[in-house]
């Protein structure tokens, strides 16, 4: 990734929060790296180096600023936008795949050799998969040290370190002191074991009501709900079930955040839980870039001005989202929600059942026409046997093609899954009835072909335009 010095330095000089997560500022005279909005005195040009990732700065020998907490910045929106190998790998690393499967598992998922994947990541983000995973382990460990009563040895293994010595050395190198120094400075006791409270940063503006309304309308009974401005749901994570509560907190600058309470059966799931919650609420987006492009269209200008920062609600469970899309074919949102609740209840799982469980459910678990029931079973079998890949490393184009190859799944369903489960920011569904109604309300053509042609000007943010059309339907 090429970083233009003058542009980066201007962002640092103005403490521009919009660039937090895009790059990191390292200062040679102090040996510290910061996020661009750090309130410290702007360093001299001669002492500044810029890096595309925290891992790259650590690799170059810099330690994290204890004042601005650069590892807590929003992630780069590039990894949600990009569909190439590096983007897919970054999403998988964020979900903890390297800790669970090692670099060989990561390489296998994206379809390249370990050596070639390492070269690509170093070229783009300045660090290989091990260094990137190490930086994430350090951040996870810091959160656990500061917010829980767990012993330091327990934290070391929960964060993914191979030994306590490795944990101590890494924390000292990254944060400039032993793990105990983080606890002395910031430790807050939590009310019960397995509970982690933290703040999820984002780039403002964030239109929280749009997110919460979308999720509330589609909440599956027994699994998720929105109560008094807080989204609550169960999660199925690599090491066990969990529960999460997410509350958007308005504010100016760094004060704006999403308050998250995670109840984890296994604290090793902290990193994937955080990554999935961030993806669900689209917290790594660059709303100013999206709104600038969409707002340039006169038909969308008023809705962009009225509701800045509308995000694309994504997913914590890709299979659940795929089943939701199939069930929702040609029926209302409330009816879809009710049927999904029946399916989940029939499976008896804590969260939404996995593909193998859904494939084995009896006919009475699916209150729908037989053809649609078989479509869901076919989807479940395809996901269970790997014919359809729904994980974060899936190639988006391959995912769409594999979905439409299944009986009963068409372009609308595949597109919905690509947008919410695979995080594609550039999906458009011109045949959707609500999209056409929203387009008509805004003075846009409601003929699918004409609307799709008009929407070409909204690339690469058509998913965000889609949400706005739904809101205006």
Measured CA to CA, the distance from residue 129 to residue 330 in angstroms comes to 43
Verify whether residue 8 is a known catalytic residue.
Answer: no
Decide if 304 contacts 296 (C-beta within 8 A): no
Verify whether residue 432 is a known catalytic residue.
Answer: yes
Phi-psi region of 309 (alpha: psi -120 to 50; beta: other; left: phi over 0): left
Decide if 40 contacts 71 (C-beta within 8 A): no
Encoding tokens for residue 109? 């998922």
Measured CA to CA, the distance from residue 11 to residue 210 in angstroms comes to 30
Decide if 352 contacts 236 (C-beta within 8 A): yes
- Closest residue by Cα to residue 44 from 66, 3, 12, 4: 12
Q: Which residue has the tokens 């403002």?
A: 204
Contacts 24+ apart (CB under 8 A), 165-168: 167/141
Q: Which of 8, 34, 38, 65 does the annotation list as catalytic?
A: 34
Decide if 451 contacts 430 (C-beta within 8 A): yes
Pairing label, strands 257-264, 195-201: antiparallel
The 10 Å Cβ neighbour count of residue 397 is 12
DSSP assignment of 305-352, as one string? HHSTT------S-HHHHHHHHHHTTTS-HHHHHHHHHHHHHHHT-SSS
Measured CA to CA, the distance from residue 287 to residue 374 in angstroms comes to 40
Encoding tokens for residue 259? 């308050």
Measured CA to CA, the distance from residue 220 to residue 242 in angstroms comes to 16
Q: Which of 71, 282, 286, 432 does the annotation list as catalytic?
A: 432
Catalytic residue set = 34, 432
């Amino acid at each position: 990734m090429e970083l233009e010095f003058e542009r980066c330095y201007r962002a640092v000089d103005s403490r521009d929060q919009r660039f937090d997560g895009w790059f990191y500022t390292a200062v040679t005279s102090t040996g510290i790296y910061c996020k661009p909005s750090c309130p410290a005195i702007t360093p001299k040009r001669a002492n500044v180096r810029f890096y595309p990732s925290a891992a790259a700065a650590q690799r170059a020998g810099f330690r994290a600023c204890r004042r601005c907490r650069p590892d807590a910045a929003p992630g780069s929106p590039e990894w949600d936008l990009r569909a190439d190998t590096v983007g897919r790998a970054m999403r998988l690393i964020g979900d903890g795949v390297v800790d669970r499967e090692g670099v060989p598992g990561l390489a296998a998922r994206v379809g390249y050799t370990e050596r070639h994947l390492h070269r690509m990541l170093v070229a783009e983000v300045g660090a290989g998969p091990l260094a990137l995973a190490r930086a994430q382990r350090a951040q996870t460990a810091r959160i656990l040290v500061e917010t829980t009563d767990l012993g330091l040895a327990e934290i070391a293994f929960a964060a993914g370190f191979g030994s306590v010595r490795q944990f101590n050395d890494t924390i000292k190198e990254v944060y400039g002191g032993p793990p105990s120094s983080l606890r002395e400075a910031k430790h807050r006791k939590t009310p019960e074991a397995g509970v982690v409270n933290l703040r999820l940063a984002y780039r403002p503006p964030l239109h929280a009501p749009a997110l919460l309304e979308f999720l509330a309308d589609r909440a599956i009974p027994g699994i998720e709900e929105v109560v008094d401005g807080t989204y609550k749901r169960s999660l199925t994570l690599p090491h066990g079930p969990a529960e999460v509560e997410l509350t958007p907190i308005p504010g100016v600058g760094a004060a704006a955040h999403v308050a998250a309470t995670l109840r984890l059966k296994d604290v090793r799931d902290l990193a994937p839980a955080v990554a999935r919650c961030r993806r669900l609420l689209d917290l790594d987006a660059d709303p100013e870039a999206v709104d600038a492009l969409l707002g340039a269209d006169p038909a969308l200008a008023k809705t962009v001005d009225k509701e800045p920062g509308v995000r694309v609600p994504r997913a914590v469970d890709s299979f659940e989202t795929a089943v939701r899309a199939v069930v929702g074919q040609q029926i209302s949102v409330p009816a879809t929600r009710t049927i999904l609740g029946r399916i989940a209840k029939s499976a008896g799982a804590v969260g939404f059942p996995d593909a193998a469980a859904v494939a084995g459910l009896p006919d009475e678990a699916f209150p729908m026409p037989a053809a649609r029931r078989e479509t869901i079973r076919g989807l479940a079998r395809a996901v269970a046997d790997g014919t359809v890949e729904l994980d974060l490393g899936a190639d988006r184009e391959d995912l769409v093609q594999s979905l439409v190859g299944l009986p009963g799944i068409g372009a609308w369903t595949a597109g919905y899954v690509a947008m919410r489960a695979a995080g594609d920011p550039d999906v458009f569904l011109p045949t959707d009835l609500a999209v056409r109604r929203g387009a008509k309300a805004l003075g846009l053509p409601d003929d699918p072909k004409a609307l799709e042609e008009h929407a070409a000007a909204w690339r690469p943010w058509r998913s965000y335009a889609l949400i706005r059309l739904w809101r205006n339907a």
